Amino acid sequence: MITIGVIGATGYAGYETVRLLLNHSEFTITTLVSKSFAGKKISTIYPNLAGVCDLVLEELNYDKILKKASCFIVALPHGTSQDVIATLYKAGKKIVDLSADYRYTNQALYETTYNVPHKYESILKKAVYGLPELFKENLTNCQLVANPGCYPTCSLLGLAPLIDSGLIDLTSIIIDAVSGVTGAGRKQDLMYQFNECTENFLAYKVASHRHTSEIEEKLSLLADENINVTFTPHLAPMKRGMMATIYSTLLKPITASDLYKVYNNYYQNEYFIRVKEHDQMVNTKQVVGSNFVDISVHVDSKTNKAIIVSAIDNIGKGASSQAIQNLNLMYGFDEKLGISQPGTYL
Amino acid sequence: MITIGVIGATGYAGYETVRLLLNHSEFTITTLVSKSFAGKKISTIYPNLAGVCDLVLEELNYDKILKKASCFIVALPHGTSQDVIATLYKAGKKIVDLSADYRYTNQALYETTYNVPHKYESILKKAVYGLPELFKENLTNCQLVANPGCYPTCSLLGLAPLIDSGLIDLTSIIIDAVSGVTGAGRKQDLMYQFNECTENFLAYKVASHRHTSEIEEKLSLLADENINVTFTPHLAPMKRGMMATIYSTLLKPITASDLYKVYNNYYQNEYFIRVKEHDQMVNTKQVVGSNFVDISVHVDSKTNKAIIVSAIDNIGKGASSQAIQNLNLMYGFDEKLGISQPGTYL
Amino acid sequence: MITIGVIGATGYAGYETVRLLLNHSEFTITTLVSKSFAGKKISTIYPNLAGVCDLVLEELNYDKILKKASCFIVALPHGTSQDVIATLYKAGKKIVDLSADYRYTNQALYETTYNVPHKYESILKKAVYGLPELFKENLTNCQLVANPGCYPTCSLLGLAPLIDSGLIDLTSIIIDAVSGVTGAGRKQDLMYQFNECTENFLAYKVASHRHTSEIEEKLSLLADENINVTFTPHLAPMKRGMMATIYSTLLKPITASDLYKVYNNYYQNEYFIRVKEHDQMVNTKQVVGSNFVDISVHVDSKTNKAIIVSAIDNIGKGASSQAIQNLNLMYGFDEKLGISQPGTYL
Amino acid sequence: MITIGVIGATGYAGYETVRLLLNHSEFTITTLVSKSFAGKKISTIYPNLAGVCDLVLEELNYDKILKKASCFIVALPHGTSQDVIATLYKAGKKIVDLSADYRYTNQALYETTYNVPHKYESILKKAVYGLPELFKENLTNCQLVANPGCYPTCSLLGLAPLIDSGLIDLTSIIIDAVSGVTGAGRKQDLMYQFNECTENFLAYKVASHRHTSEIEEKLSLLADENINVTFTPHLAPMKRGMMATIYSTLLKPITASDLYKVYNNYYQNEYFIRVKEHDQMVNTKQVVGSNFVDISVHVDSKTNKAIIVSAIDNIGKGASSQAIQNLNLMYGFDEKLGISQPGTYL
């Protein structure tokens, strides 16, 4: 068994990573780090784990943790993550970083978007963007993976075949997205209080969400030209689940069934991507609890638009299970190991 | 007090109309018609009404009901409503029809969209489309009002100032909309079962929803040229509430604050429309339980898009309270009578 | 119109009181006090009120507010409320206090339960416990009303006819109760975060909730002997609504239909109490949004138990609408004024 | 791998059994039977399974299925199950039956409770009641296990240590229970429609639920004397999760910490039972998605009551994962195999 540590183990993404690793045949958790709860068992914070995982949370003491584990998943806030990653990297550990700190190729874009300087340019250049369905070859045997944001995961996987196909006007892309409330993390904010969230739907950060630049950078990379997108996130009254409804203008007419073929062909070797046939609807509950991505494709011939609906579990494929998929690839394992289960549905 | 009847009183829209009328100072309910539950008290079907409204539901017997009420709100399924409206109309009653049967100016478009012939061309021509904020002058003293669909109400009110302003490319309109589950009505469908709906978000009838043609016809009327739109409805796990996020391409640059002025000016005399200032978010819970429409306006200058977010209560402004607003106007009353209350928020 | 002020207007109970008063024909709100948000419009905090109530929140400046209003509803935390009430009382104002500070006849019991000394013994003696269905005669023309807690309202109204009837063993009472999350108020506590509450049910403060002593004091008063009860509160994943399932041992056999008669007779003149006939279930949604109390009565003849199910809206009859009912009685109005509406159901 | 079939695979309990078996190292599903959907892939009905389990559902053709599998889990309605079980039993198959048909020792009690005759008295006598924590020794190597009902599982595990200890008055037991909506199964009933269930809490079948007699029979067996209980089920607005709050009168005083010791001792060897220490609350979300049972113990010394709070996942430990636990024991495997995972929490 490979020894693994999770740093930032009590936030939602960290916790979910722990829960998934407990079910993995090749990794064994040897250290859990939490600034807020060091000294307590993780099962005190997440009592569902009692009897299954009662590890005591530790301070971030490098002397200790570097000896304990050969790889790490880091689930710290943006900005905070930079230094930790750098230290682990220099110590030769394999790392998956869930923050935005090592996601950007363009360092300046990161700094503008997150309003912090990046102190580790050389490490940033080594980091691989961990979206396996698009960049799988880069992931094998790499040392540092930057796990994509949830909205970028959902949006990029929905768009990649369209970009690749040359079918659309690249200036016309609009992404209308919806997230469950776990996207906001484990925090005590009035806005995310039950009474405020339940039975409510809202748009937020319209045309100003930070994930926009991440989406644009990776799309531009795929298209080999600069792409801007219009991106609007919303919050729906559910814990988990994410959907992107993506609009773009077709350069020439195509039928929905031909567009389906484009998608089905593009993703034919991808276990985790399911392109829906014509009469099937995409529901977030069909992917929640899993690493799957469900995609349906539509054409509005009257207005000449391609409409793509893409759904993921925001803290599964959008965070924790994708981190494990990346880890599997970094070690040369089958990418499905420990995360092949279907969504829970109920 | 003016005597009023509600036909189709036990569906959700019919029921909500009854509940609102109980609080109206000028109308008194004298007959409630229900095919399924005739002979039972409405408070047997909706026990929350016990002690407040215990009227016995009746068969649709014109001899009886025409004597009992001078006006009617009709909440029957599309197709079924046609004949009932025609009979009431010929008897000289004032009517608000919640179905689609009398909404279209273009009879053929109705027939294609709903796949039923229209048998009452002459009455259809007399019907007024009941969206008061856009067509108030037509409503005064008219006899028959076709209450708009919920998605058209939310979309048209979000788009009207943009159309009027000449600021956008009319071929570029995309409406991404979300509804609560009451939009599906009171039916025993597996898809709308609690276990299937809760914690789930889905897209449905992508580029094929029937409300699209209603939106297009009225937008074309406003613009005085033919407009097609891309329209995608979604279902969110909440009872009530509707949001439309509307995208269009700006013909020339404009700031968000100037666009706010356009909207604020356009709706300056409208009590029920609240255009949000820059830093305020639109939340469905702020309009649910009311007849209000909350609108926020945004500009994505990088992609040259106007983004409008519009929210209503799908069975309030999207159905029942708008029906009462229309009724108020038909009788020359203040449009707010009985429906001026704010959303419940909690 | 009688001028009224609400102190503590931005907590959930204060806010709900404001919302209900906006619909009252005899009271007009002239001042809203909020420590946290003084200087802001209440519609900034609750944007659903925009255009309906845009009053600016004030500091608690007695010089100003005593001139502005002739009566007050006070929705402050326990302990804090004492002094405010005393000042208003001495100024001759009529007051409804939503806190526990003036609810107890037994001052020592209050002090033990809430762990604060009571500084106004003489005013405490003048306060009337505002549960109109049980103590209506005391309320007419009184100056200070202590509005009951939500659990006591639900429990006492469920138990009163049993106590009065002499049918049960008074040592056998068990109250198993459930509340919606608004019962916790408008606070930023992790436990009440959406992700933590939704899809979850829990028991809390088992055999140790503070409302127990309030229930016991009032039951003992009704029975004219000392009564202890077992009381267990639970939290259900819903905003509003409260249910008490109450168990007690019958001293001699009785049928459910005879027990129904006992209840129906006891409450025959009470508009807000609906005793359900045999085959009707009590649902919280049938009372939420209203001042109604729904009660069903059952007998388990095998175990000799009476089982009473009682439901209210925890922030309606359990707080804000009951405050207005009390206010109506204090002024000699019909108790239903402004609060006669049925539950919203949807 | 042992071949296994699931009969009634498209109801919620059948489906959940399939989902869990997919993760089991010793069993491989070789046949799925569904009357309603024979000929379709199970992933058509539960699209979350697409790509993971695409088995085609079959008719109940014994010639075929008896050849395909050496054991079966049967998730059919009460009454319907009897014949199927008998046929499988006679063919020598190992069976876990999720229905009530083989749960009762007292055949007449079954017949009265479910209002159907039992046609297989001799097989009924061979069936073992599958509550492993109480009857583990009976399960090893038996052929037919009757899986307990969800309410009985939750109630019996909460009560067993109290019964065993002799601490309580056996005539005083009251069980106040709450279930999530999946307890109602996959059906199109208006009462379970999203709009009807959400934001609602209700009591149903007060003192008349069929699980009462199952609880009473097994408690009587444990106590070796006849026990009746008062049982009230409620429905909470959540998919999964069940809680029983259990009241009984103590024969002599005991502290909560001593009662904790009684429970902790009783269940010291049981992996799936977690007795909570004093300051820990039981939450359904801590067991949902798992086979765990969380129990907290309390004493109300003023009223001399023991109060036990017990929580399970109604379709996990209350149905599907308990079926697999039983299956593991029938085959001599570790009972945890395939079902050792913690609750999902989020």
- For the cut 90, the answer to whether the pLDDT of residue C188 exceeds it is no
CA-based nearest residue in chain A for residue D314: A346
Q: Which pLDDT belongs to residue D278?
A: 80
Whether residue C199 lies within 8 A of chain B, CB to CB, comes out as yes
Whether residue B198 lies within 8 A of chain D, CB to CB, comes out as yes
Say if the Cβ atoms of A199 and B229 lie within 8 Å.
no
Q: Which pLDDT belongs to residue B336?
A: 98
pLDDT tens string D273-294: 999 998 799 999 999 999 999 9
pLDDT band at residue C57, thresholds of 50, 70 and 90? Answer: very high
Q: Which residues of C touch A237 (CB under 8 A)?
A: 194, 198
With tokens 């829209």, the residue in question is B13
Element holding B174 (H helix, E strand): strand B174-179
Q: Which pLDDT belongs to residue A278?
A: 80
pLDDT tens string A2-26: 999 999 999 999 999 999 999 999 9
For residue D132, what are its two tokens? Answer: 């492993």
- Mean pLDDT, rounded, of chain C: 97
pLDDT tens string B163-206: 999 999 999 999 999 999 999 999 889 999 999 999 999 999 99
Share of chain C above pLDDT 70, in %: 100
CA-based nearest residue in chain B for residue D236: B194
- For the cut 90, the answer to whether the pLDDT of residue D316 exceeds it is yes
Q: Which pLDDT belongs to residue A183?
A: 95
CA-based nearest residue in chain D for residue A240: D346
Mean pLDDT of the C173-190 span: 95
Whether residue D288 lies within 8 A of chain B, CB to CB, comes out as no
Query: Would you please indicate which residues of C are annotated as catalytic (active-site) residues?
Result: 150
Q: Model-level pTM?
A: 0.98
pLDDT tens string C136-151: 999 998 999 999 999 9
Q: Which pLDDT belongs to residue A233?
A: 98
Q: Which pLDDT belongs to residue A132?
A: 98
- Of the residues C181, C194, C344, the best mutation for testing chain A's interface (the one with the most A CB atoms within 10 Å of its CB) is C194
Share of chain B above pLDDT 70, in %: 100
Q: Which residues contact C14 (CB under 8 A, 6 or more apart)?
A: C6, C7, C8, C34, C73, C75, C98
Structural contact between residues A16 and A315, judged by C-beta atoms closer than 8 angstroms: yes
For residue A260, what are its two tokens? Answer: 């389906």
Q: Which pLDDT belongs to residue A50?
A: 98
pLDDT tens string A100-129: 999 999 999 999 999 999 999 999 999 999
Structural contact between residues D34 and D43, judged by C-beta atoms closer than 8 angstroms: no
Cite the DSSP H helix spans in C185-249: 194-197, 211-223
- All structural domains of chain B, each given as residue ranges with its CATH number in brackets, are 2-148+317-330 (3.40.50.720), 151-313 (3.30.360.10)
pLDDT band at residue A279, thresholds of 50, 70 and 90? Answer: confident
State the amino acid at position B284 in one-letter form: T
Q: Which residues of B touch D319 (CB under 8 A)?
A: none
Mean pLDDT of the C70-86 span: 97
- Phi first, then psi: what are they for D307, rounded to 5°? -125, 120
Query: Would you please indicate which residues of B are annotated as catalytic (active-site) residues?
Result: 150
Q: Which pLDDT belongs to residue D206?
A: 96
Whether residue B192 lies within 8 A of chain A, CB to CB, comes out as no
Whether residue C199 lies within 8 A of chain D, CB to CB, comes out as yes
| Residues within 8 A of A (CB atoms), D 9-28 only | 12, 15-16, 19, 22-23
Q: Which pLDDT belongs to residue A191?
A: 94
Mean pLDDT of the D302-308 span: 98
Q: Which of A53, A71, A142, A150 is catalytic?
A: A150
Using CA atoms, how far apart are residues B204 and A281, in angstroms rounded to an integer? 7
- For the cut 90, the answer to whether the pLDDT of residue D188 exceeds it is no
SS3 string of C80-124?
HHHHHHHHHHHCCCEEEECCCCCCCCCHHHHHHHHCCCCCCHHHH
Using CA atoms, how far apart are residues A148 and A210, in angstroms rounded to an integer? 12
Q: Which pLDDT belongs to residue C36?
A: 93
Interchain CB contacts (distance < 8 Å): A and B:
144
Say if the Cβ atoms of D201 and C283 lie within 8 Å.
yes
- For the cut 90, the answer to whether the pLDDT of residue D187 exceeds it is no
Of residues D174, D206, D307, nearest to C298 (C-beta): D206
Say if the Cβ atoms of B285 and C48 lie within 8 Å.
yes
Neighbours of chain A (3+ CB pairs under 8 A): B, C, D
| Strands D174-179, D230-235: pairing kind | parallel
Neighbours of chain B (3+ CB pairs under 8 A): A, C, D
Say if the Cβ atoms of A200 and B228 lie within 8 Å.
no
Whether residue B49 lies within 8 A of chain C, CB to CB, comes out as yes
Mean pLDDT of the C330-336 span: 97
Q: Which pLDDT belongs to residue A315?
A: 98
The helix-helix angle for B321-330 and B132-139 (nearest 10°) equals: 30
Burial class from Cβ neighbours inside 10 Å (0-12, 13-18, 19+) for residue B87 reads: middle
pLDDT band at residue C278, thresholds of 50, 70 and 90? Answer: confident
- Please tell me the distance in Å from D308's CA to the nearest CA on chain B: 28
Whether residue C239 lies within 8 A of chain B, CB to CB, comes out as yes
DSSP letters, C232-279, are EEEE-SSSS-EEEEEEEEBSS---HHHHHHHHHHHTTT-TTEEEPPTT
Whether residue D236 lies within 8 A of chain C, CB to CB, comes out as yes
Of residues C186, C190, C198, nearest to A198 (C-beta): C198
Q: Which pLDDT belongs to residue A275?
A: 98
Q: Which pLDDT belongs to residue A32?
A: 98
Of residues D190, D238, D239, nearest to B188 (C-beta): D190
Q: Which residues of D touch B190 (CB under 8 A)?
A: 186-188
Burial class from Cβ neighbours inside 10 Å (0-12, 13-18, 19+) for residue A225 reads: exposed
Of residues D186, D189, D198, nearest to B198 (C-beta): D198
- Please tell me the distance in Å from B342's CA to the nearest CA on chain A: 16
Say if the Cβ atoms of B237 and D181 lie within 8 Å.
no
- For the cut 90, the answer to whether the pLDDT of residue B25 exceeds it is yes
pLDDT band at residue B300, thresholds of 50, 70 and 90? Answer: very high
- Mean pLDDT, rounded, of chain D: 97
In 3D, which of B238, B220, B108, B252 has the Cα closest to residue B182?
B238
pLDDT band at residue A141, thresholds of 50, 70 and 90? Answer: confident
pLDDT tens string A53-99: 999 999 999 999 999 999 999 999 999 999 999 999 999 999 999 99
Say if the Cβ atoms of B346 and C283 lie within 8 Å.
no
Mean pLDDT of the D339-343 span: 97
Neighbours of chain C (3+ CB pairs under 8 A): A, B, D
In 3D, which of B209, B89, B80, B86 has the Cα closest to residue B149?
B209
Using CA atoms, how far apart are residues B329 and B338, in angstroms rounded to an integer? 12
Whether residue A337 lies within 8 A of chain B, CB to CB, comes out as no
